[in-house]
């Protein structure tokens, strides 16, 4: 193999090496950091993993928002009109958080009806519901029409 060929081979190997390292990094990072969304119904059915970073959401149940007197702990319930989930959070709720609005929360599930949130998300337009929540609500309704056997 002459010198020019060798250089080219080295170049190709280097690029392939970089690409494989990066691909591995990407796959690893994706697996660690994607969070699947679960609706209250799915959680009630036990489909969601506990003690694992996931997202949940639903409509905030009116009258369910309770704030602690001393610190910034708060808990509230979300529903997809089929099942309800209690979310516990410590911190400042976003401006668009309101009862009977759709929200999404990130955090960890403790059991089939309690969730500890690390962050609570609401969207810009107060009438725009997060699509995951909309989808979950639609599914819950479909289930009501065709009950699970």
Partner 1 sequence: MIAEIGLFSLVLALLFAILLVAVPTWGLLVEKPRLINAARVYVCGQFLFVAISYCCLTACFLNDDFTVIYVLTNSSLTLPWFYKLCAVWGGHEGSMLLWVAILSVWMLAVNFFSRELERAIRIRVLVVLGALSVGFILFLLATSNPFLRQFQLLKSTGRDLNPLLQDPGFLFHPPMLYMGYVGFSVAFAFAIAALWLGRVEASWAKWTRPWTLAAWCCLTAGITLGSWWAYRELGWGGWWFWDPVENASFMPWLVGTALLHSLMVSEKRQQLMAWTLLLAISAFSLSLVGTFLVRSGVLTSVHAFAVDPSRGLYILIFLLVVIGGSLLLFAARAQTLQNQRRLAVVSRASALLLNSVFLGVAMLTVLMGTVYPLLIDGLGLGKLSVGAPYFNTVFIPLMIPVFILMGVGVHLHWQGDSPRRLFARLNKEIVLSFILPALLLMVLEKKINAGVYLGLVLAAWVLLSSARVFWTRVKQRGMRDIGPSFIGMVMAHCGMAVTMIGIAVSSGYGLQDDVKMAPGSHAMLAGYTIEFISESVLTGPNYHGSRARFLIHNAHHHAEIFPEKRIYDVGQMAMTDSAIDVTPFRDIYIALGEPLDDDAWSVRLYYKPFVRWIWGGGFLIVMGGLCALSHRRYYTHKKPLPSLEAPTL
Partner 2 sequence: MKKNLWRMVPFLIFMVLALFFWRGLSLDPHEVPSAQVGKALPAFKLPTLESDKIFTPAVLRGHVVLLNVWASWCAACTEEQIFLMELAQKGVVIYGLDYKDHPNDAKAWLEEWGNPYRSIGSDRDGKVSIDLGVYGAPETFLIDKTGVIRYRHVGVLTKEIWAREFLMRIKHWEAQA
- Residues near partner 2 (CB under 8 A) are 59, 62, 81, 100-102, 125-129, 131, 134-135, 137-138, 141-142, 144-145
Q: How far apart are CA 149 and CA 135, in angstroms?
A: 22
User: Mask of contacts with partner 1, 74-103, x by CB under 8 A?
Assistant: ----------------xxxx-xx-------
Q: x/- string (CB under 8 A) for partner 1, residues 103-132? A: ---x----------------xx-x---xxx
Residues in region 130-149 near partner 1 by CB under 8 A: 130-132, 135
Residue 19: contacted member of partner 1, partner 2, none (CB under 5 to 8 Å, by partner type): partner 1
Q: How far apart are CA 48 and CA 44, in angstroms?
A: 9
Partner from partner 1, partner 2, none contacting 129, C-beta within 5 to 8 A by type = partner 2
Report yes or no: 95 and 82 within 8 Å, Cβ to Cβ: no
Neighbours of 45 (CB within 10 A): 13
Q: Counting contacts by CB under 8 A, is residue 37 touching partner 1?
A: yes
Cα distances (angstroms) measured from residue 105 to each of 4, 8, 52, 108, 109: 57, 51, 13, 9, 11
- Output 125 or 148, the one with its CB closest to partner 1: 125
C-beta separation of 85 from 78 below 8 A = yes
Shortest gap between Cβ of 111 and partner 1 (angstroms)?
Answer: 22
Q: Which is nearer to partner 2, 69 or 149 (CB)?
A: 149
Among partner 2, partner 1, none, partner that 122 touches (CB below 5 to 8 angstroms by kind) = none
Contact 9/17 with Cβ under 8 angstroms?
Answer: no
Sign, Cα dihedral of 26, 119, 76, 53: positive
């Amino acid at each position: 193999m002459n010198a020019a060929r060798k250089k080219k081979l080295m170049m190709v190997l280097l690029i392939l090496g970089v690409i494989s390292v990066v691909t591995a990094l990407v796959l690893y990072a994706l697996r660690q950091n994607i969070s699947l969304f679960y609706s209250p119904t799915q959680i009630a059915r036990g489909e969601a993993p506990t003690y694992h970073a996931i997202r949940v959401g639903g409509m905030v149940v009116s009258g369910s928002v309770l704030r602690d007197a001393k610190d910034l702990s708060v808990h509230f319930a979300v529903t997809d009109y089929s099942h309800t989930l209690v979310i516990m959070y410590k911190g400042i709720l976003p401006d668009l958080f309101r009862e009977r609005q759709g929200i999404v929360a990130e955090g960890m599930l403790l059991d089939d009806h309690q969730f500890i949130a690390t962050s609570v998300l609401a969207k810009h337009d107060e009438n725009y519901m997060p699509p995951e929540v909309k989808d979950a609500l639609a599914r819950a309704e479909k289930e009501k029409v065709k009950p699970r056997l």
